[in-house]
Amino acid sequence: MKNLFRLIKDYFKAHPVVLTIVVICAFLNALAAIIAPIMLQNTVNLIEIGIKEGFKAISNDFFLYLTLMITFYAISIASGFTYSQLTARYAQMYLHELRVRVFSHLEDLPISYFDKNEKGSIMSTFTNDIDTIRQLLSQTLADFLICFVAFVSVFATMIYSSIYLSIVVLIGTVAMVLVSKHVGSRSAKGFMNTQVILAKEEGYVEEMMNGLKVVKSFNHEDEAIIKFKEINNKLEYESCNANKYSNILMPIMGNIGNLLYIAVIVVGTLLFVFKVDNLSIRGLQPINIGILVSFLPMVKQFTNNVAQVSNQVNPIAMAIGGVSRVYKLLDEPVEVDEGYVTLIRAYIDENGIIKEIEDKNKTNCWAWKHPHKESGDITYTLLKGDIVLDDVDFGYNDKRLVLHNVSVYAKPGQKIAFVGATGAGKTTITNLINRFYDIADGKIRYDGININKIKKKDLRRSLGVVLQDTNLFSGTIMDNIRYGRLDATDEECIKAAKLANADSFITRLPSGYNTYIKGSGSNLSQGQAQLLNIARAAVSLCPTLILDEATSSIDTRTEAIVLSGMENLMKGRTVFLIAHRLSTIKDADAIMVLENGRIIERGTHEQLISLKGYYYQLYTGKFELE
């Protein structure tokens, strides 16, 4: 419930003026609907007097009460229309803001969060759970508020009219509350379970869609269907259970309300026939037709309010489940960035001093802007790509380290290769350079600056990355290449494509660089998609490149073409190269051989061959990488 109140607080904080008007209109709607029957009671009493004494005796009061009754009904209609329109509009506006907030928060979460949570479950939070909030804000809250105000007001008015009849209503209300508690709680539990299982189902569907080729390749369709049916059966059971209790609640409440209505008629008639004095807060007075006529609509309204409140249990329960999951996501700690060194465009003046440039389009020279807190001075260091890992330890959790005392020294323009079996820690090292994860011990320096001091966005802006998995986005080929640097011109994108030897296949496509590709590049071959990834890294103009199995999805002939094209790209840049094909790293300046998170050998290809150690065994085929 605290998350529900937190949502309401955030909702009011986002639109305080409009929602204050909504609350006022809701109160007016409820109160006007209560006062109108009182005017009806007075009008009926006047008619009774007019029958006996003549219409002239009551004409002034009659028209006054009739006018007030019409006025209050008009206020009820107008305020009801106003709050319903405002609620519908501003609920959608808040949901728009909430979706933006959730998406922005997702963008700020660390990589570890996505490693631990299913994408389908995250998507379910983003869609289904937020949709339950839509129902709550656009309808349920306003209805609940009106019902509560009407409930209190009607009951107070009934006591004002007749305590005897109010006691009858109170007894019926107790019965309605008990039924609502028993049936509604089971329904609410079912709806909350439905939200949880729905997230699991969406996660499973997303997983199967991503691995559809594998499913078909291994004839796993039947097993996938069985697993889906198992999850779907649970969803059906919980949903049916929830709706079963939900659907019987209103008929039960309605019938209790009808019985209560009849009971009031019977008791009221007996009081009238036997001339029992009516007890109200005004004292003992003879009961009359006006009291009975005005009391019956209030009974109907009162029971409807109780039933309406009971009917809100289910959407509130669903919303509580949805709100809890949304706030659980929003409460996930964002990626911490305490860096203060930034990357700026710069130039070197005639005295050889590095200075920041205002016109960012006039230079491709970059520098680190390093403010020193102690002295207040600012120093500038040219971005070169000098990276040092010094005795680095790292573990994905505190219990187990996956890297031990790793030291790597990469000078500007050098190509550093990592070799080792799967799980040896090759990709982990590059992830640490990117600060996707933070090290447990040791230091990583970039151009002599501890990377903990560099803002993460600026650090990553200086690194070009080509991963083993191709990651393209829906859009044109030009858009996907420009993803590496958004201010790149068309000419620069084409130049990058030529460097990656992607230009030849792009120009053969129907619309060339304007060819639209689907997400993940499913309408391209694996090799073509990877060539675009390489072109995207090329256009970034970063001094440091990380190539994580960049050519693993390309055939040997295409690989030779790509590597020859990338030689120009790698000139003057620091390159970290991870490869299983040892032939692709023979010309590396240094090769690091990893085993179980430790560097066991290092040197050039010739040096490692002469050692006749682990690398030699791999190269000669006596060992194989797994």
Q: 525 Cβ partners below 8 Å, 6+ apart?
A: none
Q: Are 584 and 559 in contact (CB under 8 A)?
A: yes
Give the tokens for residue 293: 């006529």
Q: Are 176 and 306 in contact (CB under 8 A)?
A: yes
List, for residues 524-547, the tens digit of each pLDDT value: 877 788 888 888 888 888 888 888
pLDDT tier at 561 (50, 70, 90 boundaries)?
low
CA 613 – CA 610 distance, rounded (Å):
8
Q: Is the pLDDT of residue 622 over 60?
A: no
Q: Where are the beta strands (DSSP E) in 216-287?
A: 277-280, 283-286
Kindly state the helix (H) or strand (E) to which residue 577 belongs, with its residue range.
Answer: strand 574-578
Closest CA to 529 of 576, 581, 469: 469
Give the tokens for residue 132: 């339950």
**Which pairs from 63-70 meet CB under 8 Å and 24+ separation?**
65/39, 66/39, 68/35, 68/39, 69/36, 69/39, 69/40, 69/43
Strand, coil or helix: 558: helix
Of 292-306, 348-362, 510-524, 595-609, which one has max mean pLDDT?
A: 595-609
pLDDT value at position 626?
47
Strand, coil or helix: 211: coil
Q: Are 73 and 32 in contact (CB under 8 A)?
A: yes
How far CA 179 is from CA of 152, 192, 260, in Å, comes to 20, 20, 14
Q: Where are the beta strands (DSSP E) in 136-193?
A: none
pLDDT value at position 407?
93
Strand, coil or helix: 536: helix
pLDDT value at position 569?
67
Give the tokens for residue 541: 């103009």
CA 92 – CA 81 distance, rounded (Å):
17
pLDDT tier at 394 (50, 70, 90 boundaries)?
very high
Strand, coil or helix: 15: coil
Q: 399 Cβ partners below 8 Å, 6+ apart?
A: none
Q: Across-strand partners of 347?
A: 355
Give the tokens for residue 400: 């187990």
pLDDT value at position 87?
85
Q: How remote is the C-alpha of 68 from its chain's centroid?
A: 50
List, for residues 11-44, the tens digit of each pLDDT value: 888 888 988 898 888 888 877 877 776 677 677 7
CA 161 – CA 168 distance, rounded (Å):
13
Q: Are 165 and 295 in contact (CB under 8 A)?
A: yes
HEC profile of 453-482: HECHHHHHHCEEEECCCCCCCCEEHHHHHH
List, for residues 127-164, the tens digit of each pLDDT value: 888 888 887 887 777 777 777 777 777 777 778 777 88
Average pLDDT of the residues in 448-453:
92
Average pLDDT of the residues in 58-77:
80
Q: Are 524 and 480 in contact (CB under 8 A)?
A: no
pLDDT value at position 572?
73
Give the tokens for residue 570: 């790698």
List, for residues 579-590, the tens digit of each pLDDT value: 777 777 888 899
N residues, the chain: 626
Closest CA to 389 of 461, 465, 331, 441: 441
CA 366 – CA 388 distance, rounded (Å):
19
Closest CA to 325 of 568, 40, 133, 549: 133
- Amino acid residing at 613: G
- Amino acid residing at 55: F
CA 346 – CA 358 distance, rounded (Å):
8
Radius of gyration of the chain (CA): 37
pLDDT value at position 199?
77
- Amino acid residing at 216: K
Q: 566 Cβ partners below 8 Å, 6+ apart?
A: 499, 500, 534, 538
Q: Across-strand partners of 475?
A: 517
Q: Are 478 and 491 in contact (CB under 8 A)?
A: no
Q: What is the DSSP code (8-state) at residue 62? A: H
* Span of 115-119, 390-394, 428-432 with lowest mean pLDDT: 115-119
pLDDT value at position 127?
80
Q: Is the pLDDT of residue 301 over 80?
A: no
Q: Are 456 and 337 in contact (CB under 8 A)?
A: yes
Q: Are 417 and 588 in contact (CB under 8 A)?
A: yes
Q: Is the dihedral angle over the CA atoms 564, 570, 572, 576 positive or is it negative?
A: negative
pLDDT value at position 237?
87
Crossing angle, helix 490-499 and helix 526-539, to 10 degrees? Answer: 120
CA 110 – CA 107 distance, rounded (Å):
8
- The Cα angle at residue 448 between residues 447 and 451, in degrees rounded to 5: 85
Q: 265 Cβ partners below 8 Å, 6+ apart?
A: 292, 296
Closest CA to 98 of 325, 316, 326: 326
Name the more confident of 557 and 585: 585
Q: Across-strand partners of 450?
A: 445
